Amino acid sequence: MTQYVINGRKPLSGKVRVGGAKNAILPALAAVLLTEKPVVLHDCPRLLDVEKTIMILKTIGCSVKRESRDLIIDPSNINSWIIPDSYVREIRSSIIFLGSMLARMGRAQITYPGGCEIGQRPIDLHLKGLKQLGVVIDESNGYLKCEASKLEGATIHLDYPSVGATENIMLAAVKAKGRTVIYNAAKEPEIVDLQNFINAMGGNIRGAGTNTVVIEGERKLDEVEYTVIPDRIVAGTYMVAAAITAGDVFIENVIPEHLQAIIYKLREAGCIVEVHGLNVRVKGKYRLRAVEHTKTLPYPGFPTDMQAQFTSLLSVARGTSIISETIFENRYRHVPELVRMGANIRVDGQTAIIHGVRSLKGTRVTAKDLRGGAALVLAGLRAEGQTIVENKSYIERGYENLEGALSSLGADIVKLS
């Protein structure tokens, strides 16, 4: 069983750098299909989800070379419109290839991505938007067979500001005839980054970051060299690591604006958080204050991808905190594991009631998903004694060398494969 072994109660201190954002790199890798010219992406961490998405590109004909943290991609020779089943089953975010494959090949086939550990993960909004662009979709035998002899720009209103649906529609609309307008679009920084990446190739998209995105179609895209935005969730995870260990950590290469909700909540809990240009310094305390209510919301609200990490932090705060998870229906799977470490948390539907305890006890726990796993590592950093976090491969989907980064800050953590 692959695991992290942590001996807790060591305050973290020092500097750590944040790399490119997983959730910006994945749509950028899909957007590569929109051009036949070379693409270079800088600062791409080695993450399981990134490596698997690279395999999708290779399988359909792209050449992809990794030189340290740079990806050099030649998308000139796409020889298939079928997104390989095995990778779709492993990472459901490969649904993002639908829009760009349709734009490139006029057709696409993908197995239904299905749900994952944190929820059903429906794609109805993706399909509804693509159909409005003229895509004909045959949903049978567990496959989506899509034809788009002619993509036509459209005015699309999303019933929910879905990140993936916004991205998929943007990607297809780049090659559609005429203008596409997406109302109630997702406003996440990763949407803005996708707009900037496509525009750097010669696209013409505006409005990303607001709830209305406008895409001018029939664009011929050129070559590009691009660096995606830093990973705001990895940054937030390091910030909580500093807070929960009563440490003092300087986190380099962040965009503070992307971290506002996290900074605000950490300050509300009693942390000192200083912004220094494109870096942030976090000083924690052993007994932080409870935070009355934290509600996960679409950006710029408190990010659902930080809920588990924040639950770990509040489990050792002084007082009672309430967390409401409004984005995914099954995102408290870390809670029973935290309770086994001595946390006092009760989940009632989409709400977690957290009565802070003075300390956690190290024990063997199991990661059930990516961010929940990271939350267990954070709890282990605080706990007395040894914590073993099993199923570390979940965590490696979104964190590059987490044990190395935390060790460099003074944590006693090793990875056993």
Judged by beta carbon, residue 12 or residue 163, the one nearer ligand EPZ is 163
Beta bridge partners of 283: 248, 272
List, in order, residues 6 or more apart from 122 with CB less than 8 Å away.
none
Stretch that binds ligand EPZ, among 32-40, 160-168, 216-224, 382-390 (CB under 6 A): 160-168
Concerning whether 116 is annotated as a catalytic residue, the answer is: yes
Per-residue contact flags (x/-) with ligand EPZ for residues 117 to 136, judged by CB under 6 A: --xxxxxxxx----------
**Cβ(317)–Cβ(291) below 8 Å:** yes
Compute the distance between CA of residue 10 and CA of residue 241 in angstroms, rounded to an integer: 11
Judged by beta carbon, residue 219 or residue 265, the one nearer ligand EPZ is 265
Q: Which of residues 202-261 bind ligand EPZ (CB under 6 A)?
A: none
List, in order, residues 6 or more apart from 392 with CB less than 8 Å away.
2, 3, 4, 367, 373, 415
Q: Which of residues 322-341 bind ligand EPZ (CB under 6 A)?
A: 327-328
In whole angstroms, how close is the CB of 372 to ligand EPZ at the nearest point? 10
Indicate which single residue of 160, 183, 220, 414 sits in contact with ligand EPZ (rule: CB under 6 A).
160
Contact between 100 and ligand EPZ per CB under 6 A: no
Catalytic residue among 44, 62, 116, 146: 116
Judged by beta carbon, residue 43 or residue 246, the one nearer ligand EPZ is 43
Compute the distance between CA of residue 305 and CA of residue 17 in angstroms, rounded to an integer: 19
In whole angstroms, how close is the CB of 386 to ligand EPZ at the nearest point? 27
List, in order, residues 6 or more apart from 404 with CB less than 8 Å away.
none
In whole angstroms, how close is the CB of 135 to ligand EPZ at the nearest point? 14
Compute the distance between CA of residue 113 and CA of residue 90 in angstroms, rounded to an integer: 9
Compute the distance between CA of residue 220 and CA of residue 35 in angstroms, rounded to an integer: 7
Helix (H, G, I), strand (E, B) or coil at 403: helix
Judged by beta carbon, residue 247 or residue 398, the one nearer ligand EPZ is 398
Compute the distance between CA of residue 275 and CA of residue 259 in angstroms, rounded to an integer: 10
Contact between 162 and ligand EPZ per CB under 6 A: yes
Per-residue contact flags (x/-) with ligand EPZ for residues 289 to 308, judged by CB under 6 A: ---------------xx---
- Residue among 149, 99, 106, 100 nearest 128 (CA): 99
Judged by beta carbon, residue 26 or residue 409, the one nearer ligand EPZ is 26
List, in order, residues 6 or more apart from 52 with CB less than 8 Å away.
87, 90, 91, 94
Residues forming contacts to ligand EPZ in the complex (CB under 6 A) are 22-23, 26, 93, 119-126, 160, 162-165, 186, 304-305, 327-328, 370-371, 398
Active site positions, annotated:
116
